[in-house]
Amino acid sequence: MNVGHLVRSAVIGLPAAVLIGLAAWIIGLDGPHAIALGAGVLAVVLVLLAQRSVVSTEDLAPDGPEPRTGGRSDLQQLAWSIVEHRSHIRGTVVARLRRVAAHRLAPHGLVEHRSEDADAIAALLGADAWAVLRPGREKAVPPRAFAAALTAVERLPPPAPGRLARPLPDDRTSRAD
């Protein structure tokens, strides 16, 4: 609290204290008790206004909603954001399905960005699903095509045990050569 706050509080509290002390004297309170009542009112006003000026407005603002954790809110957000204008699926939803498909294709040794893997991915998922999921697709995806791609990703068979469809490339980024 600085001097400006104290002066502002006194300018507000002093007339209120004088008015209440004067009113108490007029209705029959003796002089010393009326002055004491006015001084008490001034003290209360100063304390209240000083507290008000110390607490910042950010502290008084209501807290925003707590961020939700867990899969339920993700699914709820995804469900509300799937269809856009009833004619096509939003790009964020298609991008999420692409990430899931990339994760599901990795154990097969397939990477969707490699052009040499395109035929193998189309064979695993089907040509229609690969047309939706291939990288660089700018065309809007209709709901039926999205549903077919989602079904294809869900039904993606697991890789043969101990054997990948194609060996994963060496990751040389973590080794010092």
Domain ranges of the chain: 3-55, 77-154
Residue of higher predicted confidence among 175 and 112: 112
CB contact set of 146 (below 8 Å; sequence gap of 6+)? 82, 89, 93, 94, 97, 132
Given a contact cutoff of 8 angstroms between Cβ atoms, the answer to whether 141 and 96 are in contact is no
Q: Which residue has the higher pLDDT, 12 or 71?
A: 12
Nearest-angstrom CA–CA distance, 5 and 48: 12
Please tell me the pTM assigned to this model: 0.48
- pLDDT per residue as tens digits for the range 102-145: 888 888 888 888 888 889 889 988 989 998 888 877 788 888 88
Asked whether 131 and 152 are in contact (CB, 8 A), the reply is no
CA-based radius of gyration for the chain: 36
Convert the pLDDT of each residue in 6-27 to its tens digit.
Answer: 777 778 888 888 999 999 999 9
